[in-house]
Structure 1
Amino acid sequence: MTATTSLADTLEVPQDIQNLLFREARTANSFSDEPVSDEQIQAIYDLVKWAPTSMNTQPLRALVIRTEEGKERLLPHMSEGNRAKTASAPVTVVLAADTDFHENLPKTFPHKPDAKDLFADETGREGFARLNSLLQVGYFIIGVRAAGLAAGPMTGFDGAGIDAEFFADRKWKSLVVINVGKPGDNPWFDRLPRLDYDEVVETV
């Protein structure tokens, strides 16, 4: 029995689920032409929406791009190395932070009616939105894995360009662009090493 197997046995969920969500998780760089349905995207969101954020703020917003017209608008804002795989993905999701998230607090944080007033300062609100949206980005990637799909998250893009193209009338700030689908031919780069526990964790 290996050390990894022994550690895996201490966790609550079965090892095959651990592997699906984490150990076998890879960034896909090519995709098959198998479609990703609206129902699959909805199911992913319906799962990840329950994961915690500070004060239940839920500032993450998602733009699902699946049409040729949408891809044509998106591709010029992607870095050169990300364009081909984005063009080939059946679905691309732009994940963004809504800096007006506080408008929903009366609904999502109802036991504190004045919670919205805590975010009157726009500068502080934007940082708060970004932090909690990035938490939700991580949840979203795990949700894609749970759906049996591959995720190709990318930060190589012109965020200001995407925001002007798609979010000009909203206070959404793009954070990560994720290609979603079934992996295609030669989808994986070589597996890179990870830092070990003792290199990362300190106990006091």
Structure 2
Amino acid sequence: MTTPLNDAALAQLFTDAHTHTSWQEKSIPEEVLHQLYDLVKVGSTSANCCPARFVFIASDEGREKLKPCLSSGNVEQTMSAPCTIIVAYDEEFYEELPTLFPYADARSWFTSSPDAAYETAMRNSSLQGAYLISAARALGLDTGAMSGFNPELLNQTFFENSTWKVNFLLNIGYGDGEKVHKRLPRLSFEQACQIV
């Protein structure tokens, strides 16, 4: 049995964590990006399918390539972020299943059903994106997830002639704590949960 995290760790991951839109001018070392993925990759996915793919945009050239894909309200925060991650999924993630899930012919579950493949890719890459946010916070980074972008243009710009498709974007870095918005209301347990 594992020991529950202490209050300070829970605060860093959840209760004191905020979505950041303003960033300190401080770069993220490449080894931290590797460490981040090493944490994310051990998170559970259905049949260990691991459909998420990540593009770390950390250069001015990469940001300029991404800029036309962004909604106007997301341009400034993204251009100033030390790193923006395109959280994508591989439409043909199932091609890796003979290695990732050797206990059954899991590849055939998806080659025969494009709808099941899409749902599995979206659901599990979203799950891996949530692991990414938690892992970034655990490593002392701040995060700002976004869905305000043109997915068709982004896919064309970054993934033309590829089986990768964008799910959402995530800015990461060292946030400016002076410019964080007050936490908005959340639904109560009674509003959002049932115990049956």
**2:124 aligned residue (93, 118, 132):** 132
Query: What is the DSSP-based 3-state SS (H/G/I as helix, E as strand, rest coil) of the residue aligned with 1:28?
Result: coil
Residue correspondence of structure 1 range 58-77 to structure 2 within 5 A:
58-77=50-69
1:45 maps to amino acid = Y
- The residue number in structure 2 matching 1:13 is 5
Q: 1:50 aligns with which of 39, 42, 46?
A: 42
Aligned to 2:73: 81
User: Does 2:93 correspond to 1:105?
Assistant: no
2:98 equivalent to 1:115: no
- Give the C-alpha shift of residue 122 in structure 1: 2.4
Match of 1:23 in 2: 15
Letter of the aligned partner of 1:128 in structure 2?
A: T
C-alpha distance in structure 1 between counterparts of 2:140 and 2:27, whole Å: 13
Residue 174 of structure 1 and its aligned partner are, at CA, apart by 0.6
- SS in structure 2 of the partner of residue 96 of structure 1: strand
CA–CA separation in structure 1 for the residues paired with 2:28 and 2:38:
16
Aligned: 1:189 with 2:181 = yes
Kindly state the Cα deviation for residue 201 of structure 1 after the two structures are TM-superposed: 1.6
- Say which SS state the counterpart of residue 156 (structure 2) adopts: helix
Question: Which amino acid in 2 is paired with 1:20?
Answer: Q
| Mapped partners of 2:39, 2:71: distance in 1 | 31
The answer on whether the counterparts of 1:27 and 1:153 sit within 8 Å (CA) in structure 2 is yes
Partner residue, 2:164: 172
Backbone CA RMSD of aligned residues: 1.2
**Which structure 2 segments of 5+ residues have no match?**
none
Within 2, Cα distance between the matches of 1:187 and 1:171? 38
Aligned AA for 1:117? Answer: S
Contact 1:93 1:177 in 2 (8 A): yes
Is 1:152 the counterpart of 2:144? The answer is yes
Normalising by structure 1, report the TM-score. 0.91
Query: What's the CA shift for 1:191?
Result: 1.2
Counterpart in the other structure of 2:30: 38
Q: Give the match's secondary structure for 1:73.
A: helix
% same residue: 35
Runs of 4+ in 1 over 6 A off after TM superposition: none
- Deviation (angstroms), 1:115: 1.2
User: How far apart are the structure 1 equivalents of 2:179 and 2:68?
Assistant: 23
